[in-house]
DNA sequence: TTTTGGCACTCTCAAGTTGAGATTGCTAAA
DNA sequence: TTTAGCAATCTCAACTTGAGAGTGCCAAAA
């Protein structure tokens, strides 16, 4: 399983092969590696090494008389052990700075902008996922009567997130009662995380003198108010980049990938499940749980907004310039954290 | 310019040709029309008629030995004068009902659901555009302190819309002052439309005893708070349907269309500019202002949410089953209006 | 023992060829 | 006014062909 015992030569061949393949998208032959990358060896020798690498499952031949292409495992080894961190170019850094600073008007707009920046700079699909509210600390809860039987619930969370939910009842509710409710809710709940609230809501509101009819809506732990499924927002920008990639020449493949992208819920769950710890997380091809993404890689990183955190990153074909992308995603995540936290 | 003086036969040929072409996507020959549609005429006669229609610019030949395909003008005549309203099937009506009723949790979620419904049922790209806030009546405005130098402004509008904007200052603001501000703003502004507020804000807040530093943010008519550019949200669902259409076999074309779809601002402006009056609006191929949409048609309709209104519809290749789509979009718009207004 | 040159072998891909099939426009007859 | 007949045109899929790329392996060289 471990590929630590690769010879130095094998490593260099793998590295050069991947670098070249990422650029050209064409299977790489022994001659190219021997000549273009000046390894001081003849193509024949390279060929022998390539045979070894193929036996190890790191590279593969599309057909007999073609060069080799990296396998998912090959990319994995490359990413884990061979990757040289490529520093961000001054140009890229500048672009990110400019584009990220120009975005105002609420976290949602900023996240949209972030995904756009990522998509544009990397020529991949840029994505951003809004923070999960579960860890968010409630700062204020508003109840706004809309019409007979409808109220708008607004939940504001520390660090500038807010979301609104439209609730319905059978019958109208006196405005006084609503005010009262609002007061009590704010009093008893603000300062707590939404996750915490969900678990303890029934106890916390047990002894209020409020109308049980109204109360029922909030006390229910299953109430939509305290859930954040349906609510984590996913932005994805740069599908046109994806379409241009040769790996998506197959329309069916492209179509099913796009469908998966629109099925946001699953995608969000998947990406969140991978991006647990700190730092960059890379998922390559068959490592992806989603069927439609078996030929894609994901480079993702967390960002913070106060004490909640979300994920941004890029999606593209497994053949992607990992080292460059890592720097970009990393830096963008940092910029985003900065833009969202109290600067 | 007017095609009212088409002979009866010409009309029938055009009609049958379009119906057949929409189904098959293949150029339609004289034989098919003569036989399959039992016009009681020989192919040769049909051919003569087709020549006339071609001279009128209603149909065209991709190449010498192919059948004919409708031109944009041909579709236009079809839509304007030949279309028979196709009643909604019970199945479609049922689907729309079920899918639309299952959506809760704020207007944004409902609109997302609407675009999804449209996309799925029509096998085209379903779109929905959130109402413009300009006409919306302010019900409540909240100022929520987030951190030193940041406040969250929440604007709730009659009928359940809300949006939040993150504002920044150089220096902190005492919480009392903020409360005061909130009070005054609500007192003086609620009940007015946002458009109205924007125009009259400076007079309305002239004589308050509030801190000018804070006031400045709100009084400025150009302030982000009163604008709704950047804010009209566009949902688009069903790109996978589009990809499958033969007219988007060309990757470049597809790619540039997708880019246009992501450039939401322009698209929103364009669609809003078309959909002015009541009822269904159809824009065919070259009638579209946007370059990337020259081979697309749009079927759109307004919906209302209280006293603001937005647009939903579908986008697809010009070769689309107009009559069916019209019924579906129409009905979905009605359902949406119902779901958003006080039921 | 490792590296290399040489060479037969395999496979792809683009270009060219061919023939069947579809459809037209036109003309002359019904 | 309509139709049958027919030559002409063009596409498309199937097939053929040859150049080119790359391999694997063997025997010679280092």
B247/B122 same-domain check: yes
Helix (H, G, I), strand (E, B) or coil at B53: helix
From the number of C-beta atoms within 10 Å of its C-beta (0-12, 13-18, 19+), residue A176 rates as: exposed
**Integer Rg of chain A from CA:** 25
Helix (H) or strand (E) holding B278: none
A124/A260 same-domain check: yes
Residue A216 in this model has a pLDDT that exceeds 70 = yes
Question: Is there a contact between B155 and A156 (Cβ–Cβ < 8 Å)?
Answer: no
The confidence score (pLDDT) of residue A30 equals 95
Choose the weakest-confidence range: A105-109, B11-15, B74-78.
A105-109
The confidence score (pLDDT) of residue A25 equals 95
The confidence score (pLDDT) of residue B128 equals 96
Q: What is the DSSP string of A298-327?
A: EEEEEEEETTEEEEEEEEEESSS-HHHHHH
Please indicate whether residue A135 or residue B119 has the higher confidence score (pLDDT): B119
Classify residue A3: in a domain, yes or no.
Answer: no
Distance (Å) from CA B2 to C1' C29?
A: 37
Both tokens of residue B332? 């979905």
Choose the final residue of a domain: A186, A219, A252.
A219
CA distance A126 to A116: 6
Show the CA angle centred on residue A146, arms to residues A140 and A148, nearest 5°. 130
Distance (Å) from CA B56 to C1' D4?
A: 27
Classify residue A224: in a domain, yes or no.
Answer: no
Confidence of residue A229 (pLDDT cuts 50, 70, 90): low
Q: What are phi and psi of B300, to 5 degrees?
A: -135, 155
Closest partner CB to A146 (pick from B154, B159, B259): B159
* A102 close to B (CB below 8 A): no
Angle in degrees, 0-180, between the axes of helices A175-189 and A212-219, rounded to the nearest 10: 40
* Cβ neighbours around A236 below 10 Å, total: 24
Choose the final residue of a domain: A47, A82, A117.
A82
Q: What is the DSSP string of A54-104?
A: HHTTSEE-SSTTS-BEE-HHHHHHIIIIIPPPPPPPHHHHHHHHHHHHT--
**CATH number of the domain bearing residue B153:** 3.30.390.60
Residue A225 in this model has a pLDDT that exceeds 90 = no
A258/A311 same-domain check: yes
Both tokens of residue B24? 């098959």
A289/A326 same-domain check: yes
Confidence of residue A306 (pLDDT cuts 50, 70, 90): confident
Classify residue A226: in a domain, yes or no.
Answer: no
Question: Is there a contact between B243 and B254 (Cβ–Cβ < 8 Å)?
Answer: yes
Residue to substitute from A166, A171, A178, A233, interface B, most B β-carbons within 10 A: A166
Helix (H, G, I), strand (E, B) or coil at A216: helix
Helix (H, G, I), strand (E, B) or coil at A251: helix
Closest partner CB to A243 (pick from B165, B240, B251): B251
Residue B187 in this model has a pLDDT that exceeds 70 = yes
A23/A53 same-domain check: yes
Confidence of residue A20 (pLDDT cuts 50, 70, 90): very high
Q: How many Cβ pairs within 8 Å bridge chains A and B?
A: 134
**CATH number of the domain bearing residue A266:** 3.30.450.40
Q: Of B201, B191, B192, B193, which Cα lies nearest the Cα of B222?
A: B201
Choose the weakest-confidence range: B3-12, B246-255, B320-329.
B3-12
Please indicate whether residue A187 or residue A213 has the higher confidence score (pLDDT): A187
A124/A263 same-domain check: yes
Both tokens of residue B175? 């919480």
Classify residue B2: in a domain, yes or no.
Answer: no
Both tokens of residue B90? 């019970």
Choose the final residue of a domain: B203, B226, B249.
B226
Closest partner CB to B147 (pick from A148, A156, A342): A342
* Cβ neighbours around B65 below 10 Å, total: 8
Helix (H) or strand (E) holding B16: helix B8-24
B68/B161 same-domain check: no
Q: Of B309, B308, B300, which Cα lies nearest the Cα of B275?
A: B300
Q: What is the DSSP string of B290-307?
A: SGGGTTEEEEEEEEEETT
Choose the weakest-confidence range: A54-58, B138-142, B156-160, B264-268.
B156-160
Helix (H) or strand (E) holding A252: helix A251-262
CA distance A242 to B262: 13
A154 with B149: Cβ contact below 8 A = no
The confidence score (pLDDT) of residue B292 equals 95
Highest mean pLDDT among A165-169, A339-343, B64-68: B64-68
Choose the weakest-confidence range: A114-123, A271-280, B5-14.
A271-280
Highest mean pLDDT among A217-226, B122-131, B231-240: B122-131
Please indicate whether residue A4 or residue B53 has the higher confidence score (pLDDT): B53
B164 with A162: Cβ contact below 8 A = yes
Contact list, B126 vs chain A (CB under 8 Å): none
Helix (H) or strand (E) holding B156: strand B150-157
Both tokens of residue A304? 């913070």
Beta strands in B26-94 (DSSP E): 59-60, 69-70
Segments forming the whole domain that contains residue A173: 134-219
A230 with B255: Cβ contact below 8 A = no
As a whole-number percent, the residues of chain A with pLDDT over 70 amount to 93
B residues 129..148 contacting A (CB < 8 A): 139-140, 142, 144-148
Contact list, B150 vs chain A (CB under 8 Å): 160, 342
CA distance A15 to A337: 33
Contact list, B106 vs chain A (CB under 8 Å): 152, 163-166
Classify residue B41: in a domain, yes or no.
Answer: yes
* Cβ neighbours around B231 below 10 Å, total: 17
Highest mean pLDDT among A214-218, A246-250, B217-221: A246-250
Residue A211 in this model has a pLDDT that exceeds 80 = no
The confidence score (pLDDT) of residue A230 equals 53
In this predicted model, what pLDDT tens digit does every residue of A169-191 receive, in sequence order?
A: 767 778 888 888 888 899 999 89
Question: Is there a contact between B68 and B59 (Cβ–Cβ < 8 Å)?
Answer: yes
Please indicate whether residue B212 or residue B302 has the higher confidence score (pLDDT): B302
Helix (H) or strand (E) holding B131: none
Beta strands in B200-271 (DSSP E): 234-237
Instruction: Give, in order, the Cα–Cα distances in Å from B104 to each of A102, A167, B101, B110.
Output: 33, 8, 8, 6
Considering all nucleic acid strands, name the nucleotide whose C1' atom is nearest to the C-alpha of residue B34: D3
Considering all nucleic acid strands, name the nucleotide whose C1' atom is nearest to the C-alpha of residue A48: D24
B148 with A109: Cβ contact below 8 A = no
Mean pLDDT, chain B, as a whole number? 88
B246/B116 same-domain check: yes
From the number of C-beta atoms within 10 Å of its C-beta (0-12, 13-18, 19+), residue A134 rates as: middle
Q: Of B336, B267, B276, B280, which Cα lies nearest the Cα of B108?
A: B336
Strand order in the sheet with B234-237: B234-237, B125-129, B308-317, B296-305, B281-284
In this predicted model, what pLDDT tens digit does every residue of B269-287 receive, in sequence order?
A: 999 998 777 899 999 999 9
Question: Is there a contact between A277 and A82 (Cβ–Cβ < 8 Å)?
Answer: no
Contact list, A230 vs chain B (CB under 8 Å): 105, 109
Classify residue B246: in a domain, yes or no.
Answer: yes
Both tokens of residue B46? 């049909």
**CATH number of the domain bearing residue B50:** 1.10.10.10
Question: Is there a contact between B110 and B336 (Cβ–Cβ < 8 Å)?
Answer: yes
Q: What is the DSSP string of A21-57?
A: HHHH-SPBPHHHHHHHTT-SS-HHHHHHHHHHHHHTT
Confidence of residue B218 (pLDDT cuts 50, 70, 90): confident
Residue B26 in this model has a pLDDT that exceeds 90 = yes
The confidence score (pLDDT) of residue A343 equals 45
Classify residue A301: in a domain, yes or no.
Answer: yes
Both tokens of residue B261? 């779809």
Closest partner CB to B146 (pick from A109, A159, A168): A159
A169/A74 same-domain check: no
Confidence of residue B174 (pLDDT cuts 50, 70, 90): confident
Residue B343 in this model has a pLDDT that exceeds 50 = no
B162 with A158: Cβ contact below 8 A = no
Distance (Å) from CA A47 to C1' D26?
A: 14
Classify residue B3: in a domain, yes or no.
Answer: no
The confidence score (pLDDT) of residue A104 equals 64
CA distance A86 to A195: 39
A239/A302 same-domain check: yes
A240/A290 same-domain check: yes
Q: Of A324, A330, A297, which Cα lies nearest the Cα of A312?
A: A330
Rounded to 10 degrees, what is the CA torsion of B36, B39, B44, B49?
A: -110
Q: What are phi and psi of A163, to 5 degrees?
A: -145, 155
The confidence score (pLDDT) of residue A102 equals 64
A118/A242 same-domain check: yes
Confidence of residue A122 (pLDDT cuts 50, 70, 90): very high
* B83 close to A (CB below 8 A): no
Per-position b or e across A195-206, b if 16+ CB within 10 A of its CB:
ebbbeebeebbe
Closest partner CB to B243 (pick from A109, A146, A258): A258
Angle in degrees, 0-180, between the axes of helices B194-204 and B175-189, rounded to the nearest 10: 120
Helix (H, G, I), strand (E, B) or coil at B287: helix
Choose the weakest-confidence range: A245-254, B196-205, B321-330.
B196-205
CA-based nearest residue in chain A for residue B257? A240
Residue that has been written with the tokens 């991006």 in this structure: A275
Both tokens of residue B104? 């809760």
Please tell me the total count of domains within chain A.
Answer: 3
As a whole-number percent, the residues of chain B with pLDDT over 90 amount to 57
Distance (Å) from CA A44 to C1' D27?
A: 14
The A 36-55 residues near strand C by Cβ under 7 Å are 40-42, 44-45, 48
Helix (H) or strand (E) holding A181: helix A175-189
Both tokens of residue A336? 């985003």
* B220 close to A (CB below 8 A): no
Per-position b or e across A252-264, b if 16+ CB within 10 A of its CB:
eebbbbbbbbbeb
């Amino acid at each position: 399983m471990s590929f630590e015992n690769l010879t130095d030569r094998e490593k260099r061949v793998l590295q050069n092969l991947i670098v070249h393949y990422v650029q050209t998208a064409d299977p790489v032959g022994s001659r190219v590696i021997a000549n273009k990358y000046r390894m001081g060896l003849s193509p024949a020798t390279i060929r022998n090494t390539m045979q070894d690498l193929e036996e190890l499952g790191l590279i593969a031949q599309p057909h007999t008389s073609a060069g080799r292409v990296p396998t998912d495992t090959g990319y994995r080894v490359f990413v884990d052990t061979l990757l040289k961190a490529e520093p961000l170019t001054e140009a890229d850094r500048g672009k990110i700075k400019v584009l990220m600073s120009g975005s105002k008007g609420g976290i949602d707009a900023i996240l949209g902008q972030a995904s756009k920046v990522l998509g544009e700079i990397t020529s991949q699909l840029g994505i951003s996922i809004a923070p999960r509210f579960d860890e968010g600390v409630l700062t204020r809860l508003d109840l706004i009567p809309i019409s007979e039987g409808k109220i708008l619930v607004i939940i504001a969370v520390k660090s500038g997130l807010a979301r609104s939910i439209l609730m319905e009842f059978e019958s109208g509710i006196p405005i006084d009662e609503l005010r009262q409710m609002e007061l009590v809710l704010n009093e008893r709940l603000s300062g707590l995380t939404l996750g915490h609230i969900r678990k303890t809501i029934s106890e916390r509101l047990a002894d209020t003198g409020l109308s049980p009819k109204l109360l029922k809506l909030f006390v229910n732990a299953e109430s939509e108010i305290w859930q954040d499924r349906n609510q984590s927002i996913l932005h994805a920008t740069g599908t046109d980049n994806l379409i241009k990639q040769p790996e998506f020449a197959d329309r069916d493949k492209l179509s099913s990938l796009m469908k998966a992208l629109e099925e946001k819920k699953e995608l969000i769950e998947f990406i969140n499940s991978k991006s647990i710890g700190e730092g960059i997380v890379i998922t390559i091809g068959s490592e992806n749980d989603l069927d439609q993404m078996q030929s894609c890689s994901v480079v993702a990183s967390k960002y913070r907004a106060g004490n909640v955190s979300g994920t941004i990153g890029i999606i593209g074909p497994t053949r992607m310039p990992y080292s460059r992308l890592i720097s970009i995603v990393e830096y963008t995540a940092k910029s985003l954290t900065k833009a969202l936290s109290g600067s």
